[in-house]
Chains A and B, each alone.
Chain A
Amino acid sequence: MTVAVLAHGVGGRTDLPLTASVAVAGAVWAVIASFLILSVLWPRPRTGRDNAGVPLPATLQRIVSSRPLWDVVRLLILLAAVLVTVAAFAGPTAPTDNLAPFALYITFWVGLALVSLLFGPVWRVLNPLRFLHRGLAALQGRSPDSGRRELPAALGWWPAAAWLAVFVWLELVPPFRSEPAVVGGFLLVYAAVNLLAAHTYGATWFDRGDGFEAYSTLIGALSPVGHRADGRLVLRNPLDGATAVRHEPGLTALVVVLIGSTAFDGLTRSRFWVEQIPADSIPAGTLGLLGMTLAVAALYFLATAVADRRTSAAPVTTAEPAQEAASARRPVAAVAATGLSAGQGGSVPATARVPLRASFATSLVPIAAGYVIAHYFSLFLFEGQTTWILVSDPFGTGADYLGSRDRQVDYTFVSTTAIGYVQIGAIVAGHIVAALIAHDRAVTIFGERDARQSQYPLMAAMLLFTGTAVALLVST
């Protein structure tokens, strides 16, 4: 009956339009950086070395790998998840008074991206479903890793991509998105589906199958801290982490969903959308989300297809990492058509080459991360406070466990100017890191000259993504 609809998951505040001067400055930086990367940067691969990074002190290493410590944290997170789910059903029915929508859409979803970006794939460690699965397996007296069936390798990131597509639709489109019961139902379905899948395939399901964990893993690849190949905890160049992400089926789809949905979120905040499109129309929203996602996919596929074509005659000078070559399911048609033989100078037969859209998929991750920060940073800062206010009285009983019940959201502790700089900074930084990763991939696959050939179309696509992102921030 009471359907207080709130935009963008939850929260009644959005950012101010970016001022033109800030936007232009950001766009100019992105363009300059792009040309510098194309023209003067390293001609040999710089990433992918096994020993990359500076090892962190052994004490820190021990703390981080302490299992009892993390078990306590995991237990706390599991209890928090249970509290949120129970509050969804038993707490206040008005979305603005209920803990669950704020906890899911802001504290968890946005917080997960921010924490992963800083500290790496944290959800792998903290995932309460993994913890629950381990407990259930122990009760049955079997190893959590053993399933009834082998997880098909062809699934790759696809289950996560599908799950996140459903989640971003729920978050951004239907007017019932922030109904507490809907949020609670979503959490229960999410838990049930993943526990069942883990029961079938073993704990390895969570790696690529659990949408939230896959999201954290992907964004976390850009973190300045990470475990390198020998298991040591190191401080490292985010590029090393990003290039360490192996291409598996569905990776491109997952990244495209993330970029498409964030771009759609930007579109719905634009004046055009607010003024022309009926608010909370499910068909319009669904079409908009689908349209943006397909546009992102089309642009990326087009760019990589052009790059494939431009480089199809070029000998491949350096082998792709073996696992990537193995994941190639079919050679690029254009390459096959030219009938290029390995004898023309390449150390790898051209027919064994992975399509470039697969090789370059990781370069889209920073663009997705930049979009997420630009769009949700202020939501996390401001509306995220609501979670801590509401958790003080999760069931609407008048309790005040944390003494924060009567607090108001403070919308002024970070200025709108600072938020504007963070937004443009995130977009431009995402663009630059993306271009650097693409450059490194290109010189890994090709020699210097052909690397450039492959990069022009990709750089054009990235500039278009970035330009669109900036335009959307200006037009809100």
Chain B
Amino acid sequence: MLLTVALSGCAAGAQTAATGSRTSVAAGAETTERTTSGSAGPESTAHDAARTSEVFNGTVVEVTIAGSQVQTADRRIIVTLNSRVRLIVASDISDEVHIHGVDEYVDLRAGETATYDFVANIPGTFEVELHEAGDLLFSLQVQP
């Protein structure tokens, strides 16, 4: 019941990613490293979302899965091609998030919050869904 899709970067309240802001080189480098490290579990770690989103240069999407209900503020997230996306999923069940297109998987452990960064580098509209339960978290619309 407690969920928001928070957006950071410059576009608070809109669904569009922060465009062209290159304010934090350090944050960018960190993100790139995490993103290119592949789709295996290790980079899905618990995070303090509020703290990290301050330095994250991209779109932050928060999702809560509680009582097998998916809660997001918006079921369509629009980002620009090659922008960064940070997915923060608080879940009370263990499952796996499948991000179609970039074909990334994020491990979810019951009672934990997983954070996962990736670059939306394929244009199109892609489903982000729970791999086991099958629920749609949201559609990610990547605009060239």
Instruction: Report yes or no: A14 in contact with B129, Cβ–Cβ below 8 A.
Output: no
Most chain B beta carbons < 10 A, residue from A12, A13, A96, A411: A12
Out of A1, A13, A408, which one reaches B125, CB within 8 Å? A13
Most chain A beta carbons < 10 A, residue from B74, B125, B135, B142: B125
Instruction: Report yes or no: B122 in contact with A14, Cβ–Cβ below 8 A.
Output: no
Known: A6-B127, A7-B127, A275-B75. Is A12-B101 also a contact (CB below 8 A)?
yes
Known: A12-B98, A408-B103. Is A279-B136 also a contact (CB below 8 A)?
yes
- When chains A and B are docked, how far (Å) is the Cα of A13 from the Cα of B132? 18
Please give, as numbers and ranges, the residues of chain B lying within 8 Å of A409 by CB-CB distance. Answer: 103
Instruction: Report yes or no: A175 in contact with B134, Cβ–Cβ below 8 A.
Output: yes
Instruction: Report yes or no: A12 in contact with B127, Cβ–Cβ below 8 A.
Output: yes
Instruction: Report yes or no: A271 in contact with B123, Cβ–Cβ below 8 A.
Output: no
Instruction: Assess whether B144 is interfacial by the CB under 8 Å rule.
Output: yes
Minimum CB–CB distance for B105 against chain A, Å: 11
Contacting B at CB under 8 A, from A124-162, are none
Instruction: Assess whether B131 is interfacial by the CB under 8 Å rule.
Output: yes
Instruction: Report yes or no: B125 in contact with A14, Cβ–Cβ below 8 A.
Output: yes
Please give, as numbers and ranges, the residues of chain A lying within 8 Å of B143 by CB-CB distance. Answer: 16
* B-contact bits for A1-20, CB 8 A (1 contact / 0 none): 11111110001111111000
Instruction: Assess whether B76 is interfacial by the CB under 8 Å rule.
Output: yes
Instruction: Report yes or no: A13 in contact with B101, Cβ–Cβ below 8 A.
Output: yes
Contacting B at CB under 8 A, from A242-289, are 271, 274-275, 279-280
Known: A4-B132, A5-B134. Is A12-B100 also a contact (CB below 8 A)?
yes
Minimum CB–CB distance for A4 against chain B, Å: 5
Please give, as numbers and ranges, the residues of chain A lying within 8 Å of B133 by CB-CB distance. Answer: 3
Contacting A at CB under 8 A, from B84-126, are 98, 100-101, 103, 122-126
Out of B101, B124, B134, which one reaches A3, CB within 8 Å? B134
Instruction: Assess whether A417 is interfacial by the CB under 8 Å rule.
Output: yes
Instruction: Report yes or no: B76 in contact with A275, Cβ–Cβ below 8 A.
Output: yes
Please give, as numbers and ranges, the residues of chain A lying within 8 Å of B98 by CB-CB distance. Answer: 4, 12, 96
Please give, as numbers and ranges, the residues of chain B lying within 8 Å of A280 by CB-CB distance. Answer: 134
Please give, as numbers and ranges, the residues of chain A lying within 8 Å of B131 by CB-CB distance. Answer: 2, 4
CB closest residue in chain B, given A6: B127
- When chains A and B are docked, how far (Å) is the Cα of A205 from the Cα of B131? 42
Interface size, B (range): 20 to 34
* B-contact bits for A160-186, CB 8 A (1 contact / 0 none): 000000000000000100000000000
* B-contact bits for A284-319, CB 8 A (1 contact / 0 none): 000000000000000000000000000000000000
Please give, as numbers and ranges, the residues of chain B lying within 8 Å of A3 by CB-CB distance. Answer: 133-134
Known: A4-B132, A16-B141, A279-B136. Is A411-B101 also a contact (CB below 8 A)?
yes
Out of B74, B124, B134, B144, which one reaches A14, CB within 8 Å? B124
Please give, as numbers and ranges, the residues of chain A lying within 8 Å of B139 by CB-CB distance. Answer: 14, 274
Contacting B at CB under 8 A, from A393-416, are 408-409, 411-412, 415-416
Please give, as numbers and ranges, the residues of chain A lying within 8 Å of B100 by CB-CB distance. Answer: 11-13
Interface contacts (Cβ under 8 Å), in number, total: 73
Please give, as numbers and ranges, the residues of chain B lying within 8 Å of A341 by CB-CB distance. Answer: none
Out of B124, B134, B135, which one reaches A411, CB within 8 Å? B124
Instruction: Assess whether A237 is interfacial by the CB under 8 Å rule.
Output: no
Please give, as numbers and ranges, the residues of chain A lying within 8 Å of B144 by CB-CB distance. Answer: 16, 415-417
CB closest residue in chain B, given A12: B100
Known: A13-B101, A14-B125. Is A271-B76 also a contact (CB below 8 A)?
yes
Instruction: Assess whether A476 is interfacial by the CB under 8 Å rule.
Output: yes
Please give, as numbers and ranges, the residues of chain B lying within 8 Å of A378 by CB-CB distance. Answer: 124
Minimum CB–CB distance for B139 against chain A, Å: 6
Please give, as numbers and ranges, the residues of chain B lying within 8 Å of A17 by CB-CB distance. Answer: 141
Contacting A at CB under 8 A, from B40-59, are none
CB closest residue in chain B, given A4: B134
- When chains A and B are docked, how far (Å) is the Cα of A96 from the Cα of B133? 13
Minimum CB–CB distance for B65 against chain A, Å: 14
Minimum CB–CB distance for B6 against chain A, Å: 18
- When chains A and B are docked, how far (Å) is the Cα of A420 from the Cα of B108? 36
CB closest residue in chain B, given A1: B132
Contacting B at CB under 8 A, from A1-58, are 1-7, 11-17
- When chains A and B are docked, how far (Å) is the Cα of A362 from the Cα of B99? 42
Instruction: Report yes or no: B132 in contact with A12, Cβ–Cβ below 8 A.
Output: no
* A–B pairs, 24, beta carbons within 8 Å: A1-B132, A2-B134, A3-B133, A5-B129, A5-B136, A6-B127, A12-B126, A12-B129, A13-B126, A13-B127, A15-B125, A16-B123, A16-B141, A16-B142, A16-B144, A274-B139, A275-B74, A279-B135, A279-B136, A411-B124, A412-B122, A415-B123, A416-B123, A416-B144
- Beyond known contacts A12-B101, A13-B101: 20 more, CB 8 A cutoff: A2-B132, A2-B134, A4-B132, A5-B134, A5-B135, A11-B100, A13-B124, A13-B125, A13-B127, A14-B125, A16-B144, A274-B75, A275-B74, A279-B135, A279-B136, A411-B101, A411-B122, A412-B123, A415-B123, A417-B144
Listed in ascending order, the chain A residues whose CB lies under 8 Å from chain B are 1-7, 11-17, 96, 175, 271, 274-275, 279-280, 378, 408-409, 411-412, 415-417, 476
Shortest 7 CB-CB distances between A and B: which pairs? A12-B100, A5-B134, A12-B127, A3-B134, A14-B125, A416-B123, A411-B122
